[in-house]
């Protein structure tokens, strides 16, 4: 039986090429470097699998040291000896050592390990991840959504021109700056973009501002408003849902399948936002997809300005389930990953991900480049 023999953890920094701020925080400033945690699993026959996540404590609560110590001290010891295909058993083990609160505990740390197990198991099976999950290799392209970073109507025009020049058709922007600014930005985006237009408020609205802006967005023709209200205020979503007709989604509110079930069962959302790091990885994302499909809801893909292998894993999951919407996976807009992934530009170009037929997620980081980027002065116990 093939089992996990070794776990390696790489806390690294990746250069940030463009500043990105939103209602609940920032994904980094140009010239800085963003922290990431990579997990490498090796099985008893020498095959490897990779997972990676980005700590973003202003978005969720996990920090770089907490991710490293959780994976190294709690998850790694119980992974060794585990059958490489036992993703169900993996969930039991992860939750045995780091329990749940009201929702999933430490989803980012769990996601890194879960993604690595899926990459390893599908590589060992000689299958792409999408085929391993029950999909088809014939479904291999997914358009990306360009993330607009400008927070005023004039600069948004330049931002859109830049995105279009790179081949993007679909655009997303961050709302909850100020109601009049949000509405002015939405007008410009809708005027210039024929594709899918998606606004994300990152929990930033009060109910009265959400009502006002959502109604205006609907009239302008914005296709989706994501996470308008604070994540723990289900009752406000109920009120908003009754008062506006624009399609709605939650992101920060839905970490587990049980969380999402509440929103789906009450008819409060139109989409499931597939986001692997938020959802503790692929296994629990598949459960959320089952809830969405049972409820008749559409799928759309998002990320945490993640690294390329996390983006590819999300695309593999989305294509396994024939997701038709653009993926808001914007890492390449903000990160310089050229040293880590020599094949990146063969897979991502013209605003689209073109998955190959290599086993696993379709790319692995260059280990020497990871070692060059290693954080050696990590503050931890």
Q: Helix or strand or coil: residue 323?
A: coil
Taking each continuous run of H as one helix and of E as one strand, the counts in the chain are 15, 16
Q: With b meaning 16 or more CB within 10 Å and e meaning fewer, what string describes 300-337?
A: bbbbbbbbbbbbbbbbbbbbbbebebbbbbbbbbbbeb
Closer to Mg ion at the Cβ: 200 or 223? 200
Sites of contact with Mg ion (CB under 5 A): 200, 251
Residue with tokens 């993703």: 87
The rounded distance, in Å, linking the Cα atoms of 239 and 284 is: 28
Pairing label, strands 21-22, 25-26? antiparallel
Closer to Mg ion at the Cβ: 313 or 329? 329
List, as one string, the DSSP characters of 45-114. Answer: TS-EEEEEE---TTTSS--HHHHHHIIIIIIHHHHTT-BTT-HHHHHHHHHHHS--SSS-SSHHHHHHHH
The residue at minimum Cβ distance from Mg ion is: 251
Closer to Mg ion at the Cβ: 43 or 252? 252
Closer to Mg ion at the Cβ: 252 or 348? 252
**Least distance in angstroms from the C-beta of 275 to Mg ion:** 7
**Least distance in angstroms from the C-beta of 271 to Mg ion:** 11
**Least distance in angstroms from the C-beta of 91 to Mg ion:** 24
**Least distance in angstroms from the C-beta of 101 to Mg ion:** 21
Closer to Mg ion at the Cβ: 173 or 261? 173
Residue with tokens 């997972």: 51
Pairing label, strands 298-302, 352-354? unpaired
Closer to Mg ion at the Cβ: 214 or 370? 214
**Least distance in angstroms from the C-beta of 88 to Mg ion:** 28
**Least distance in angstroms from the C-beta of 227 to Mg ion:** 5
């Amino acid at each position: 039986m093939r089992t996990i023999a070794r776990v390696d953890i790489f806390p690294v920094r990746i250069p940030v090429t463009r500043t990105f701020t939103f209602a609940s925080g920032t994904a980094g400033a140009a010239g800085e470097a963003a922290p990431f945690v990579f997990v490498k699993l090796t099985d008893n026959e020498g095959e490897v699998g990779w997972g990676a996540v980005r700590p973003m404590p202003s978005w969720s609560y996990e920090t770089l040291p907490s991710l490293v110590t959780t994976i190294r001290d709690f998850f790694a010891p119980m992974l060794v000896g585990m059958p490489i295909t036992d993703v169900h058993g993996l969930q039991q083990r992860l939750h045995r050592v780091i329990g749940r609160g009201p929702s999933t505990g430490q989803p980012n740390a769990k996601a890194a390990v879960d993604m690595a197990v899926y990459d390893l198991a599908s590589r060992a099976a000689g299958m792409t991840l999408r085929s391993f999950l029950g999909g088809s290799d014939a479904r291999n392209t997914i358009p990306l959504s360009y993330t607009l970073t400008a927070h005023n109507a004039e600069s948004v025009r330049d931002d859109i021109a830049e995105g279009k020049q790179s081949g993007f058709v679909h655009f997303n922007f961050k709302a909850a700056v100020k109601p009049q600014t949000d509405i002015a930005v939405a007008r410009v985006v809708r005027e210039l973009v024929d594709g899918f237009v998606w606004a994300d408020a990152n929990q930033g609205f009060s109910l009265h501002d959400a009502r006002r802006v959502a109604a205006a967005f609907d009239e302008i023709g914005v296709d989706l408003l994501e996470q308008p209200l604070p994540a723990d205020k289900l009752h406000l979503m109920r009120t908003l849902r009754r008062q506006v007709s624009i399609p709605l989604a939650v992101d920060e509110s839905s970490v587990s399948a049980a969380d999402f079930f509440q929103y789906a069962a009450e008819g409060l959302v139109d989409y499931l936002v597939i986001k692997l790091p938020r959802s503790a990885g692929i296994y629990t994302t598949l459960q959320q997809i089952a809830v969405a499909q049972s409820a008749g809801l559409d799928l759309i893909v998002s990320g945490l300005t993640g690294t390329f292998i996390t983006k590819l894993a999300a695309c593999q999951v989305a294509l396994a389930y024939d997701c038709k919407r653009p993926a808001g996976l914007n890492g390449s807009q903000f990160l310089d990953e050229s040293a880590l992934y020599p094949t990146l530009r063969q897979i991502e170009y013209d605003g689209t991900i073109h998955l190959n037929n290599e086993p696993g997620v379709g790319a692995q980081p260059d280990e020497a480049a990871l070692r060059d980027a290693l954080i050696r002065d990590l503050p931890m116990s």
